[in-house]
Every structure is written in C-alpha cells, then in structure tokens.
Amino acid sequence: MADDSSFLSDDLIRQLISVGEVDLLVGIPSHNNAENIVHTVEAVEESFQSAFPRQRVVIIDVDMGSNDGTPEAFLKPVTRKGASARGLTSLRTEHRVVARCENAAPATALRTIVATADLLRARACAVISAATSNLTPEWVGNLLQPLYRQDFDLVTPLYSRQRFEGLLARILLYPMTRSVFGKRIREIHSTEFGFSGRLATNCTNLDLWHEPAIQDLPQTSLTLTAITSDYRCCQSFLGPKLRPSAGHAPDIVTAVRQAVGALFWSIDANESYWMGRLGSEAVTTFGPDHEFTDETIPVNLDRTFELFRSGVEELSPILKTIMAADTYAEIQKLASLDERNLCFDNALWAKTLYDFAASYHHSLLNRDHLVQALVPLYRGKIYSFFLQHAASSSAEIEADSENLCLEFERQKSDFSERWKLRSEVTT
Amino acid sequence: MAEPVTERLVQPLAEKRSVATKAQTQWYKDAVIYQLHVRAFCDSNNDGIGDFPGLTQRLDYLQELGVDALWLMPFFPSPLRDDGYDIADYFSVHPSYGTLDNFKTFLNAAHARGLRVIIEMVLNHTSDQHQWFQEARSSRDNPRRDWYVWSDTDDRYKEARIIFLDTELSNWAWDPVSKSYYWHRFFSHQPDLNYDNPAVFEAMWGVMKFWLDLGVDGFRLDAVPYLVERDGTNCENLPETHAIIKELRRRLDAEYPDRMLLAEANQWPADVSQYFGNGDEFHMAFHFPLMPRIFMAVQLEDRKPIIEILEQTPPIPESSQWCIFLRNHDELTLEMVTDVERDYMYDEYAKDKTMRINLGIRRRLAPMMDNDRRKIQLLNVLLMTMPGTPIVYYGDEIGMGDNIYLGDRNGVRTPMQWSGGWNAGFSNADPERLYSPLISNPVYGYQAINVESQKRVPHSLLSWMKQLIGVRKSTKVFSRGSIEFLRPANHRVLAYVRQLGDERILVVNNLSSSAQAVELDLRQYKGYIPIEMSGRNLFPRIGDLPYLLTMGPYQSYGFRLRRL
C-alpha cells in the first residue's frame, strides 16, 4: 500500500475540526461545474431542511482542479426563496466544506469523501454529481433516508430513462453483476449513490483506492465492496436521469473502458466471494425499479453497425485470443450478416462477456487493451437491441432484460469452470 | 465564568429617588431581577401558605444573592383559578398572603436593602368574581355593563386565535345571567375589560396610582397585546392598544419618573419592539423568542438559533431594554417557534407528555438540563451576558426541581427549599397543610437541594450564582453595551464581544458536550490582552493570527479586553 497517510490536506482538516461530528454528509465531486453547482447545493440544502431539519449536516465539494470558479460558486450563500416561502429551515448550521484536489482522479475525490465521512462519524452519506442538472431535493432525501432511518449501508439509484438510454447498465453491467455477485442491483456505476458511515469506515483504508482500473469509476468498487462484505444494500428511485450535456459525457470507448474495467477488476478481486454462488436475490427497492420516459433520442444506427463490423475485422487476432473458439466463430458470423438481419442474442452476449472476464482474469493480454476490444462487440449488441426493440413496448424491453439476466445466471457455472480451468492450467 | 463579589454599598431607595439622575431612572437596565411568588417563598404564620411577613424575613437572602429587584406574582384577592391572574380586587392583598400593612412593611424593608419591587398588573381582564363584572352581568342597563365586551353572538373577532388551546374552545363565553356572550382571551372565568370605554382606562390608572403611591417601583403588565378588539383583525397589537400604553406612560413619567413598565407580550421581536414606541411606551419587554432558542442551541450544540433570533431583533430606543429569562412561573412557551422547532423541543425536553401544557413545557431549569451543573451554569452565563435585563426565577439559583404530576403549571411553583429540615424551612405547618407538596425525590428533594446546605459550600450552585451576579453587576457593559457576534468556523461555540465606551468584554461559550477547539478572528482587537474574569489571569496578547482557545464541555470564558 502506498504511503498516503496524509492524503487529506491540512486545510481540509482545519475545516473539519470546525464542523465536528455530523449525521449526514453529501459529497459533490466537481470539475468546472460552476454553472450548475449552485443549483446542486440549493437542492441538497432544501433536502436537509425538508427531511432532516434537526440533523447535523455538511456538504463537501471535492474539486478536482476547476478553473471556472466552482469552489467559490459552491461557497456562495444562496437565497432559497422557494424554501423559505414554504417555511423550510434547518435548526442547525448547514456546513459547506471545500476540499481542493487539483488534478486528482475521481477515485481520490471519492476517497476524500469517504475519509471525511469516516472522520466526521457521519451516519449517512450521499454522493451527488455536480453535473446533474435536474437534481431535486427528493433525490437527496431518497438516497439518505434508507441509510439514516432504515439502517441500510448502500443505496444505489434507480432512474427513469428513455428506452434506449442507460444501455451500458441494462445490457452489460447489471446482468453481469447480478449473475456474478448474486444481487439484483441495477446501477452499480451511477454518479449518485449513498453509503453508511460503517461502510465508509470499512472502505477508507482499503487498497483498492490505488488500483488503476478503478481510478475513473470508483463507485463501482465501493458498491461491489458493499455487496461482497455483506452490507445491507438497497435501491432507491430518484427520477429522470438526463443525459449529460455535450462535453461532460464520456464517449462510448471511455465509458466501456471505465465501467467494464472497474467491473472486471472487482470480479477478479472478489473471486472468493462469488465463486460457487448461483442465482441472484432481490434487494429492497424504494419506489419503482424501472421507469421509461417518452423522450426520443437520435441514434446513428448505420455508423454503429459499421463500427461493429470493422471492429471485429480489425481486432480479429485479439478477439481470437480473448474468446473461446466457438464464441469467436459466432461473432464473426454475426459480423458478416446483412445489417438488417443482425441478432446478437442473449446467450452469445453472455458467453462473450464471460469470455472477456475470464481472459481478463488470466491476463492473456494487456487488461486495458482487452477491455477496449469489447467496445465493437458492445456496439453490435446495442445495434441488435435497437433493431429488436424498435417497436417494443416498455414491458417487452423489460422482459427481454430479465431474460438476459437469467441467461447470464444460467451460464455462470460454465464461466466459473472456465475461470478455474485456466487457473489450473496456469498453475 | 465567575468573579469574586465586590461588596455592594447599599443605598436605600428613598435616597436614590431624591437625587434621581437619568442613569438612575434607567435602573431597570442594570438590574438583576428575581421573580418570586409570595405564596411559595416563606410562610410566617404556619398556615402552609407563604406570606408577606415570611418574604420580609427572607429579604437578607435576596440581598446577599445580589439581585436588585423583586418581581412579585399577583398577590391580590382572587379565586385563584389562574394562580392570581384572575384578580377580584385590585386594591388589597389576598388574605392568605397577609394584609396591605404587611405589604407596606415588606416594601419598606426591601427598599431599605436597595431592592426594588415590581408587581403584577393585569390590565386586560379581571376575575369573573370581580365586583365590576358582577355588576356588569347583573343587567344590560347596569352602568358597568360596558366595562366588558359583550355580544349577542359568538361569531365576532373570528380571526383572534385561542391562546389556551388545552382548555378553551372559543374566546366567547355564554353568561347565563345576562344571557349574552362575553369576550375572554384567556380562561372563560377571566372576562376582558373594554378599553373602548374611557372609564375603564381611568379606573385602571387609578389602580396603578394606588400602588405607585405606596412606593412600588414598576409593573409587569400582563397580556398587553390583547387590550383592544377590532373586527377583521387578530385583535393583537392594535394601534388602539399602543395608544393606551402611551397614555399610561405619559402619566407615569409625569408623576412617577423613576418607575418602570414591563410588557408581557409573547410576540415576535419585531412586534414586541413596537411596544417600546419611541421610548414612550414600555421601558422593558420580555424577549420571549430568545428563551426557547437558548435551550434549543444547547441541545443542538449549535449557535444558530440564538444568532438568528438576535439578528431578527430590531434596535430599540436608547431608554428601552429587553428582559430576558430562562424559566418563569409559566410553561416554557413555544408559541414563538416554528413547528419543526416545537417538535424538536418537545422531543428533547418533554418526551413525557405530562411535561407539556398549552404550547409549551412546564418544567424547571435544572431538570430540563438533566441536573447537569455544567449546562445549568452555561445557560446562566448566557442569561447574564446577553443583551437585556436578566430575570432569575426563584429556586433556580439552587437548582430546584419540579413536580410534573401537579396540575396546570403548579409543578414549577412548589415551596422554596430553604433547608433540609421540617417542610424545607418553608413553613412550620403540618406538611399536609402546605399549599403544594414539597419536592421530595432523591435528586431534587429539599433534603438534597436547599439554600442552607448550599450556603455552606463555596462551590455550590448558589455560591456560583452569587459570583456570576457579581460579575454581571461589576460592569455596565452587560446591561448597556452593544453586542457583536464573532463567527468562528466552529458553530458549537457562541462568541460575542460586549462593548460600552472603551470597555470590552469577550464572552466565549462552548455549547457542546465535548471539548472544542475554536479559532477567533480578533484582529480588530490586536494588541489587547484578554484577562479572564474568573481567575483574573492574563491570556496571550491578541495578534494577527486567529486566537486559538480550547474549551471543555459547556465551558464559558469571559475576558476583559484591555490595552496594556
């Protein structure tokens, strides 16, 4: 473990001395969010006033080197006309603290929040993205309430989304997490989530904070740590998740690298937990477990298909190394089909992902390159999903998602065998 | 925070009045007031009820405590259905408490010790047993009929709230004698006087003159906002009510220039401040909203409630003064708080619903503080160092407990605990004859908590309170100075600088149950030396850097800031 015993700055410690013990903490990792962060703080404080007027509260902005005045905007007093008109008030001082972590990775930002929660003995903590433009006080309350009032340790969000939004979670992260770790948690890598003080204390000094694979999306590891350490997990419905504005959303390659890289790393790191577990169990869910909006979004399907086909062709040597021969053969066959006939079925998709995860485990090639090689296949699955569900109802899409999850669960035994087999060969 | 008492030179009031200067006519600003009930203080004739001769015997104790003025709860003849606030005769003394001559003797004895005497005056209503009301109800043609507010229906003044929600359903009560409704803002046996009738005003001024001529130093005027009723209003704080007060004040200043009027107006500071007028209405008024917020701040361990309410408090005329208190004979009123704040106060201080009455909490200071000496002291430091004239409720100086199983607010009106002997030294009557049972539980009972035992111990609460009052009176900064809040990042610390002329005192209070470090921005006092008022020890000179203090749980510091 690297020597980072003083990763919290003296300035932050000085601020925390004045804050003292708290009941609730909301952390806001930020980077050039000056425009939106005032709205974020307003919503958080209104949530405190409406749902937690008696509690000791603090909001911490972990700024990762903004040059647009984000910390100053965060600290600026806000006049909440709406809140005061409704008679909302907090009995206690509402603290705001800024931690300046210039050029820090998101993992450092999250670790700062977790360590702060631990130091201040917070009972319930929520992390909110400074870029979420439609944050409401209810979101914050829905994340904190289960932790503070019902003794849960982890709250992951549920959103209402357009049918073709959030596909990374729907067709990749959720089914795989569910089958491997056995918990039906839909959003393991969201920018909003909550955790208890107990979990924070457990996580503060874990080695995982230094792991390169989780630097950009550390929340996945926190979620999976909660699952694998048998903390009480639940999901809470927040509301519509708007797409990040241009410039704030990662491209598909980056998104897959970050999310899948963190997931594969966690699978690898927690083998003793999931190996031998079969099936999955539901977790307590507050509100609906899914909801679709009627929004329409533009998708360039032709380009998606083309990137799938060219990717399979260009990465052929790598894919052969990663995937079992029969899986690879099926993929090649798919790539040769006419675009109107592409059907990347659930069984093949599950097998593909398991092949990638096993190869990641066995380090058959550079792990980052391996994860990137998944991107064209993911595009193919997306394309197929669009074709299949162009006219589907919400219920049909949801039913298909459930079938996908069941397929992953069905193949988990084979995956475990592959995982072990290669291990034995290696040893 | 405490400082040895400097011996007071007692100047009898008669001498003071003969050479009254402006400063002396504003004596109420510098006073520490002690509130007591004659009935509860000391019984001289062994009938189980406190009386004026008994109170007179105990004046040396009050003088020694260091208070300047006594506020007596109602002692007039009364059916006592509202602890004397239902007056049946304004010109006499309730026979249980003695005679008018006994009162005069007491008054002279108090004045001889430099103690001023403030009495209650209930202007708003009388008892339904008062002769005026008996005449008024006797027929619709009676000359006194119009001294009260009558109606054939009970639907006038609908906007007026009901104050005693636990007992009253309406502000109108049916009078079966004259077959009409009469108006009452409080209990139905307390009909409101009709100040639209000039004769009522003259009659009440006559009452006040009677007591002023005897020598009383001031009146605490009860239920002031409700004197006048008007359709379409909430019948509170009306301009006509202010006009009545102004006329009373005008007459008082003209004929009795060193006397004082204290308003009981349980309202928000902006509304209460109207009762100071331009220095031509009340001399003093209670700051009701501050009191619950002091309790709230200590429980929350956060200065926010105190600072917020004081920031909402408007400036008042130079001759005026707020009156502040921790506990009194009534419930800890929660009318001037939000619903959220009220729920919090109930949950923290009155979990047992028996402790609640009306919109408030009927408990004494010590039990509310869980008998934690540190918390009791902290609250008293706040009382003595914040802007305003402090009132100490009898028994709180020794940490008396309460009896929540007695009805109404009688649980905080039990006999004063003078000693661990027979009836706590309050009375030689048989215990069964006492007007109220003594507090006798192992924690707050008179055997454990009493004046006699605490006088023997230099570090008792009583001894500490004497010292604190001494500190308060050692300077006029606390009574007349300005206040400036410091805002250290540590919100558990309430710090302020009181200043009068060149004199500055820094007060720092740790509101929390744990040790705290606090950095104070004292740069504007650079070069000053803080001298701690308890031990008179010097602290490091103030420089450019934040001034670091570490404080124990509930600890307070008072520093004189001196440039030496």
Q: Which of B349, B492, B549, B551 to substitute to test the interface with A, most A CBs within 10 Å?
A: B492
ipTM > 0.85, yes or no: no
> For residue B542, what are its two tokens?
């103030």
Q: Three-state SS for B98?
A: coil
CA angle B545, B546, B547 (to 5 degrees): 110
Q: How far is B392 from chain A (nearest CA, A)?
A: 27
Residue B338: which of A19, A20, A89 has the nearest Cβ?
A: A89
Count of Cβ atoms closer than 10 Å to residue A164 Cβ: 18
Cβ–Cβ gap A93/B491 under 8 Å: yes
Beta strands in B311-401 (DSSP E): 321-325, 332-333, 356-357, 360-361, 389-393
CA angle B73, B74, B79 (to 5 degrees): 135
Neighboring chain B residues of A89 at a CB cutoff of 8 Å: 338, 340
DSSP conformation letters of B128-180: TTSHHHHHHHH-TT-TTGGGB-EESSS-SSTTSPPS-TTT-S-SEEEETTTTE
Residue carrying the six token digits 């009927």: B362
How much is the pLDDT for B4? 41
Q: Who has greater pLDDT, B83 or B348?
A: B348
Neighboring chain B residues of A15 at a CB cutoff of 8 Å: 489
Among A213, A322, A210, A304, residue whose Cα is nearest residue A257: A213
Residue A18: which of B339, B340, B489 has the nearest Cβ?
A: B489
Q: Who has greater pLDDT, B201 or B25?
A: B201
How much is the pLDDT for A245? 63
Q: How many residues are there in chain A?
A: 427
HSE, side-chain direction, 13 A CA sphere, residue A157: 29
How much is the pLDDT for A84? 56
Q: Which of A10, A11, A18, A96 to substitute to test the interface with B, most B CBs within 10 Å?
A: A18
CA angle A352, A357, A359 (to 5 degrees): 95
How much is the pLDDT for B422? 97
CA angle A217, A223, A224 (to 5 degrees): 100
Residue B341: which of A18, A56, A91 has the nearest Cβ?
A: A91
Residue carrying the six token digits 């124990």: B552
pLDDT tens figures, A8-65? 999 999 999 889 999 999 999 999 999 999 999 999 999 999 999 999 999 999 999 9
Instruction: Tell me which amino acid residue B323 is.
Output: C
Q: Decide if pLDDT at B358 tops 90.
A: no
Q: Who has greater pLDDT, B188 or A78?
A: B188
Question: In percent, how much of chain A has pLDDT > 70?
Answer: 93
- On whether any CB of chain B is under 8 Å from the CB of A87, the answer is yes
Q: Who has greater pLDDT, A368 or A81?
A: A368
DSSP B352: S
Q: Decide if pLDDT at B372 tops 60.
A: yes
* B135 annotated active-site: no
Q: Would strands B529-532 and B218-222 be described as parallel, antiparallel, or unpaired?
A: unpaired
pLDDT tens figures, B455-489? 999 999 999 999 999 999 999 999 999 999 999 99
Tell me the pLDDT band of A339, cut-offs 50, 70 and 90: confident
DSSP B311: H
Neighboring chain A residues of B516 at a CB cutoff of 8 Å: 20
Q: How many residues are there in chain B?
A: 564
Among B239, B207, B211, residue whose Cα is nearest residue B225: B239
CA angle B278, B282, B284 (to 5 degrees): 110
How much is the pLDDT for B6? 36
Over residues A128-156, the mean pLDDT reads: 95
Q: Which of A16, A93, A121 to substitute to test the interface with B, most B CBs within 10 Å?
A: A93
Residue in B with minimal Cα distance to A88: B340
Q: Would strands B150-151 and B180-183 be described as parallel, antiparallel, or unpaired?
A: antiparallel
Taking CA atoms, B29 is separated from A216, B477, B478, in Å, by 65, 11, 10
Helix (H) or strand (E) segment spanning residue B214: helix B198-214
DSSP B193: B
Q: Who has greater pLDDT, B74 or B2?
A: B74
> For residue A394, what are its two tokens?
């919400």
Q: Decide if pLDDT at B18 tops 60.
A: no
- On whether any CB of chain B is under 8 Å from the CB of A13, the answer is no
Residue carrying the six token digits 């402090």: B390
How much is the pLDDT for B12? 66
Distance CA B117, CA A418 (A): 95
Cβ–Cβ gap A17/B338 under 8 Å: no
Over residues B143-171, the mean pLDDT reads: 93
Q: Decide if pLDDT at B201 tops 90.
A: yes
Q: How far is B141 from chain A (nearest CA, A)?
A: 50
Averaged pLDDT score across all residues of chain B: 94
Q: Three-state SS for B321?
A: strand
Among B264, B257, B245, residue whose Cα is nearest residue B85: B264
* B264 annotated active-site: yes
Q: A37: burial class by Cβ within 10 Å (0-12, 13-18, 19+)? A: buried
Distance CA B520, CA B542 (A): 10
Distance of CA A55 to the CA centre of its chain: 28
Instruction: Tell me which amino acid residue B221 is.
Output: L
Helix (H) or strand (E) segment spanning residue B505: strand B503-510
Q: Who has greater pLDDT, A289 or B448?
A: B448
DSSP B429: S
DSSP conformation letters of B448-473: TS-HHHHHH-TTSHHHHHHHHHHHHH
- On whether any CB of chain B is under 8 Å from the CB of A54, the answer is yes
Over residues B94-108, the mean pLDDT reads: 98
Among A180, A250, A189, A199, residue whose Cα is nearest residue A221: A189
How much is the pLDDT for A394? 87
Strand partners, B127: none
Residue A54: which of B344, B512, B514 has the nearest Cβ?
A: B344
Q: Which of B128, B175, B192, B264 is catalytic?
A: B264
pLDDT tens figures, A257-283? 999 999 999 999 999 999 999 999 999
Q: How far is B280 from chain A (nearest CA, A)?
A: 35
SS3 content of chain B, % helix, strand, coil (to 5): 35, 20, 50
How much is the pLDDT for B2? 44
Residue in B with minimal Cα distance to A51: B340
How much is the pLDDT for B7? 39
Distance CA B249, CA B332 (A): 29
- On whether any CB of chain B is under 8 Å from the CB of A96, the answer is no
How much is the pLDDT for A241? 82
Cβ–Cβ gap B305/A15 under 8 Å: no
Q: Which residues of B526-553 are buried (b: 16+ CB within 10 A; e: fewer)?
A: eebbbbbbbeeeeeeebeeeebebebeb
> Which of the residue ranges A195-199, A340-344, B240-244 would you say has the lowest mean pLDDT?
A340-344
Distance CA B420, CA B484 (A): 44
Averaged pLDDT score across all residues of chain A: 90
Contacts of B144 (CB under 8 A, 6+ apart): B132, B135, B136
> For residue A378, what are its two tokens?
């993911």
CA angle A159, A164, A170 (to 5 degrees): 60
Over residues A176-193, the mean pLDDT reads: 95
Contacts of B470 (CB under 8 A, 6+ apart): B2, B3, B4, B5, B6, B66
Cα pseudo-dihedral A294, A295, A301, A307, rounded to 10? -120
Cβ–Cβ gap A15/B489 under 8 Å: yes
What is the side-by-side strand order in the sheet with B360-361? B332-333, B360-361, B356-357
- Counted across chains A and B, CB pairs separated by less than 8 A come out at 44
Q: Would strands B180-183 and B172-175 be described as parallel, antiparallel, or unpaired?
A: antiparallel
Over residues B98-107, the mean pLDDT reads: 98
How much is the pLDDT for B14? 63
> For residue A36, what are its two tokens?
């939106």
Instruction: Tell me which amino acid residue B535 is.
Output: G
Whether A375 and A311 have beta carbons less than 8 Å apart is answered as: yes
Residue carrying the six token digits 């958080």: A44
Q: Decide if pLDDT at B9 tops 60.
A: no
Neighboring chain B residues of A53 at a CB cutoff of 8 Å: 340, 344
- On whether any CB of chain B is under 8 Å from the CB of A20, the answer is yes
Q: Who has greater pLDDT, A4 or A416?
A: A416
Tell me the pLDDT band of B21, cut-offs 50, 70 and 90: low
pLDDT tens figures, B42-65? 999 999 999 999 999 999 999 999
How much is the pLDDT for B8? 40
Q: Three-state SS for B19?
A: coil
Q: Which of B51, B82, B217, B222 is catalytic?
A: B222
- On whether any CB of chain B is under 8 Å from the CB of A5, the answer is no
pLDDT tens figures, B286-325? 999 999 999 999 999 999 999 999 999 999 999 999 999 9
Q: Decide if pLDDT at B20 tops 60.
A: no
Taking CA atoms, A140 is separated from A44, A51, A155, A200, in Å, by 6, 9, 11, 18
Whether B74 and B83 have beta carbons less than 8 Å apart is answered as: yes
Tell me the pLDDT band of A396, cut-offs 50, 70 and 90: very high
Q: Which of A21, A75, A84, A91 to substitute to test the interface with B, most B CBs within 10 Å?
A: A91
Whether B391 and B33 have beta carbons less than 8 Å apart is answered as: yes
Taking CA atoms, B233 is separated from A242, B158, B230, B257, B410, in Å, by 50, 8, 6, 35, 34
Q: Three-state SS for B222?
A: strand
Q: How far is A26 from chain B (nearest CA, A)?
A: 18
3-state DSSP of chain A: CCCCCCCCCHHHHHHHHHHCCCCEEEEEEECCCHHHHHHHHHHHHHHHHHHCCCCCEEEEEEECCCCCCHHHHHHCCCCCHHHHHCCCCCCCCEEEEEEECCCCCHHHHHHHHHHHHHHCCCCEEEECCCCCCCCCHHHHHHHHHHHHHHCCCEEEEEEEEECCCCHHHHHHHHHHHHHHHCEECCCCCCCCEEEEHHHHHHHHCCHHHHCHHHCCCHHHHHHHHHHHCCCCEEEEEEEECCCCCCCCCCCHHHHHHHHHHHHHHHHHHCHHHHCCCCCCEECEEECCCCEEECCCCCCCHHHHHHHHHHHHHHCHHHHHHHCCHHHHHHHHHHHHCCHHHCCCCHHHHHHHHHHHHHHHHHCCCCHHHHHHHHHHHHHHHHHHHHHHHCCCCHHHHHHHHHHHHHHHHHCHHHHHHHHHHHHHHHC
How much is the pLDDT for A293? 78
Helix (H) or strand (E) segment spanning residue B16: helix B13-18
Cα pseudo-dihedral A37, A43, A47, A53, rounded to 10? 70
